[in-house]
Structure 1
Amino acid sequence: MIYKKTLSLLAVMAFAIACSTNPFTGKKTLALVPNSQILPMAFEQYNQFLAENKVVRGTADAQMIQRVGQKIAKASERYLTANGYAGYLKNYRWEYNLVQDEAVNAWCMPGGKIVFYTGILPVTQNEAGVAAVMGHEVAHALANHGQQRMSAAQLQQLGAVAGNLALAKNPENQQMFNQYYGVGTQVGVMLPFSRSNESEADKIGLTLMAIAGYEPMAAAELWQRMKQQGGGAPPEILSTHPSSDTRIQNIKSWVPTAKAEARKYGVTSFKK
């Protein structure tokens, strides 16, 4: 009973004091792991990844990745400064690299460390398509989604420990708890949480690419092409990402808002 009360108290304290504010939504988010710990680790892992993979340099595609990345980063800074978050990016170390790999993927580590795989370029097709992906990936970093996922995983582990301690005198119930807790929290909490982060990154990314001067509808067209790639995606309820249809529908509904936001910064034409 003492252990159970202690763990419950720790969980309440974690929620109460370990939060940060999402600068795009104004909502409080989990921040059990501080950025002072996350960023140095991310930078080290990024450098190690580059050392172990073939980085494409000096080509037109590599230059495009750099150019688009810089525009999205500048759009981020303009938005954050205008909305009372000047200095938010002070610990970011922007870097944009194209890596030779057939995977249709791109990612951004905490602190602005971005990689595009060459395999995604046939799907992006043009600079606006690259901007759609870049905006989405940068949005993950700006909204501290990596920090949130790490924090959620820690709370999931805390729940497992609390359950096992509470059922320590009943091995049969403890075994049943362990059998269902992992699946239940994964499908009922962790996967929806991940999908929510992805949708949030889509929405934020649209705003960033619009402020950077790119046509936000290009993001919907990108996901149409992604859908055509096929690949047998799992049902949305069992996926870390929303389905392509959900993303396309959401993006189309958000485009007018993204353009309206961009106009606040004097952007009235959008590159397709």
Structure 2
Amino acid sequence: MRWISRFTVGALCLALTACAASPGGRQQFTLYSEEQLSEMGAKTFAQYQEEKTVVEGEQARYVQCIADALVAELPNGQSNDWQVRVFEDESANAFALPGGYIGVHTGLLDITDNQDQLAAVIGHEIAHVRAQHANERASTQSATQVGLSVIQSAAGLEGASGEQMAALLGVGAQYGILLPFSRRHESEADTLGLELTADAGFDPRASIDLWNNMSDAGGGQPPAWMSTHPSHGQRISGLESHMDDAMQRYEQARQAGRSPDCQRPG
């Protein structure tokens, strides 16, 4: 069994060899082209609009105002033609998709107190797109599935004992690779999103207030090592560690005249 463990680690490490770099310089493993990811994003957004009620009026204008200010600070080539929609849904959620699509649930408007808090969420979601996290996750999952199939076949894992071992290998991949990878994405998006909101002239300190709101509104969380997201406390600590730099960016943005005034619906 020991050789299987070594073979598993070796095969998965080989599969995860990096071939790209994130905005922060972290090496990434990406299999899909930008065109493929944009097509996936467009299809997902179209399907979401079919399944959910799209909200217009003041709420839509409020979200559009914030999104426009954030997108304007993206690097050249990433700031064009973003589509923004508000969806009727009580969950405090938002998302951004490759290809330039942003969705915000009405439940998030209820839990955020001002434009700065909402900008923190939308900036975080845009950061996922900017850092190609969807590509990285999809590529990692594809490579992991292939690796596990190869290992199961090479080891002759058949019958009841084989199914049990395959399940154990799957659990090992889930908690050893896929979930920590997702937590890394979330922490990276927190940092990049904090910088983006500050560059756009939104107060980055509101991100701390936001996560305190989330913590008050949310129930129990799974242990951090079993979660795809850092705990609220971990998130706040991470944001606080980057706040000095974010505040410098914020002051520079305000001095440059970037001062968004997006009116929250009453």
Look up the match of 1:206: 194
2:114 to 122, 126, 132: 126
1:72 to 70, 79, 98: 70
Distance in 2 (alpha carbons) for counterparts of 1:122 and 1:10:
43
Q: Does the alignment pair 1:31 with 2:23?
A: no
Using the TM superposition, give the Cα deviation of residue 270 of structure 1 relative to its aligned residue in structure 2, in angstroms.
7.0
Q: Which secondary structure does the structure 2 equivalent of 1:15 belong to?
A: coil
Q: Does the alignment pair 1:152 with 2:140?
A: yes
Q: Which secondary structure does the structure 2 equivalent of 1:114 belong to?
A: strand
Q: Is the 8 A contact 1:103 1:119 kept in 2?
A: yes
Distance in 2 (alpha carbons) for counterparts of 1:123 and 1:158:
41
Q: Which moved more, 1:239-248 or 1:159-168?
A: 159-168
Q: Which secondary structure does the structure 1 equivalent of 2:70 belong to?
A: helix
Distance in 2 (alpha carbons) for counterparts of 1:267 and 1:228:
36
Distance in 2 (alpha carbons) for counterparts of 1:179 and 1:13:
20
User: Identity over the aligned pairs, expressed in percent?
Assistant: 34
Distance in 1 (alpha carbons) for counterparts of 2:150 and 2:256:
52
Q: Which secondary structure does the structure 2 equivalent of 1:242 belong to?
A: coil
Look up the match of 2:45: 46
Change (3 A) 1:179 1:12: closer
Q: Is the 8 A contact 1:207 1:258 kept in 2?
A: yes
Look up the match of 1:63: 61
Look up the match of 1:167: 155
Distance in 2 (alpha carbons) for counterparts of 1:158 and 1:239:
24
CA RMSD of superposed structures (Å): 2.6
Q: Is the 8 A contact 1:72 1:209 kept in 2?
A: yes
Using the TM superposition, give the Cα deviation of residue 267 of structure 1 relative to its aligned residue in structure 2, in angstroms.
4.8
CA deviation string 1:226-245 (max 9, x = no partner): 00013221111111100000
Matched residue count: 252
Q: Which secondary structure does the structure 1 equivalent of 2:28 belong to?
A: strand
Look up the match of 1:217: 205
Look up the match of 1:20: 20
Distance in 1 (alpha carbons) for counterparts of 2:172 and 2:217:
31
Using the TM superposition, give the Cα deviation of residue 260 of structure 1 relative to its aligned residue in structure 2, in angstroms.
2.6
Using the TM superposition, give the Cα deviation of residue 20 of structure 1 relative to its aligned residue in structure 2, in angstroms.
2.5
Change (3 A) 1:93 1:178: farther
Distance in 2 (alpha carbons) for counterparts of 1:271 and 1:206:
16
Which 4+ runs in 1 deviate beyond 2 A?
8-16, 169-177, 259-272
Q: Is the 8 A contact 1:98 1:116 kept in 2?
A: yes
Instruction: Give the TM-score normalised by structure 1.
Output: 0.84
Instruction: Give the TM-score normalised by structure 2.
Output: 0.86
Q: Is the 8 A contact 2:22 2:28 kept in 1?
A: yes
Using the TM superposition, give the Cα deviation of residue 22 of structure 1 relative to its aligned residue in structure 2, in angstroms.
1.5
Look up the match of 2:4: none
Change (3 A) 1:67 1:176: same
Look up the match of 1:83: none
In structure 1, the gaps of 5 or more residues are 81-85
Distance in 1 (alpha carbons) for counterparts of 2:106 and 2:217:
16
Using the TM superposition, give the Cα deviation of residue 177 of structure 1 relative to its aligned residue in structure 2, in angstroms.
2.8
